[in-house]
Structure 1
Amino acid sequence: MTEWRIVRFHGYTVKADPDTTHKLIRELPNIGEKEHCNCQGCSNYALATEHFPFEVKKLFALLGMDPVKEGHVTRYFRAENGLTGEILEQPSEWPVKVYYKNETDHFLLTLTQVLPNSHIPTHLPFPEPWMELYIEAYLPWLLEEEYEDWTLEKEEADPSDA
């Protein structure tokens, strides 16, 4: 039998099933491990979860989520994580600013309800109702090696080569 938990966070009130969520994600490899992806971004993210704001760590625990179980991440982290539950109330403005100092030092999140029969891509069989927790955060670089930004071209292509 499902044991629903009411969780309140920055204007959200959700009815969550942390046990089902935890059961769905517990066997996934950790972000940063070879079985998931051990690129620089993922490896750094796995270390950076220790630096998440306390209230975000608490939210993950209350919802049955593990921040190192889903997503492909970079230094500028964006991820959508599925969880079992339903939004009962939401804030008038979102994303929620857990903290926001500037463009390169912030942690934002949004919860959205996934509608029945929607075609949201997920590799996990979340039962209805389910939600997505969208996180946007700029994480500190904690790896010893220098950050390589693969989104920028290192050299401009010579147009005469075309």
Structure 2
Amino acid sequence: MIQTIDIYDWVIEVDVEMTKKLYKNEREDCSCLYCNNYREASQHLDNCVFDVFNKLGIDPSKPSHLSEFPYEEQFRLYIGSYHIVGRLLKGELSTMSNSNATNTFQIKDFNFGFSIDLQFVPIGFPNPVLQLDFEAKIPWVLDENPEVY
């Protein structure tokens, strides 16, 4: 069922149920320590961050793309993207190369932007597709030391 959802200055038309269904499909995820840390940390997000993912039907533990960079002690900087079945009705689009304060929104340690410059869309994901790009400062939650990895 298609819904119209407001998130800050953006209005998105999204098929939440179809998006949820697609995130339940098995995916071949990277099993490196850094990606495992993100997936584990995504199970403990602040409610306000989790609410954004939930509104859009996204499983936060299953990004379509994920990259990690050293940040501060006990934290990592992650950038990546998720996909939703939907389209942007109102609001400015962003890309990883042109994100700024007018085309992104910040919630806690996450910075989000919507894009139609699609990358890493899972096979079989139906149109229309809207990409949710993010940058996030995530704590290191695994017992394994990333410096040894």
TM-score, length-scaled by structure 2:
0.76
Unaligned runs of 5+ in 1: 30-34, 100-105, 151-162
Deviation at 1:54, TM superposition (A): 1.5
Say what the alpha-carbon RMSD is for the aligned residues: 2.3
Deviation at 1:81, TM superposition (A): 1.0
Aligned residue identity for 1:38: S
Q: Give yes or no for the alignment of 1:129 onto 2:138.
A: no
Aligned residue identity for 1:82: H
Could you say which residue in structure 1 is the equivalent of 2:104? 95
Unaligned runs of 5+ in 2: 69-75, 93-100
Deviation at 1:57, TM superposition (A): 0.9
Deviation at 1:49, TM superposition (A): 0.8
Equivalent pairs, count: 133
Q: Distance in 2 between matches of 1:28 and 1:149?
A: 30
Q: Does the 8 Å contact 1:45/1:73 carry over to 2?
A: no
Q: Distance in 2 between matches of 1:149 and 1:84?
A: 39
Q: Does the 8 Å contact 1:28/1:69 carry over to 2?
A: no
**Aligned pair partner of 1:109 in 103, 106, 112:** 112
Deviation at 1:108, TM superposition (A): 0.2
Percent identity over the alignment? 26
Structure 1 or 2, whichever has the larger Rg, is 1
| 4+ residue runs over 3 A deviation | none
Aligned residue identity for 2:58: M
Q: Distance in 2 between matches of 1:76 and 1:149?
A: 18
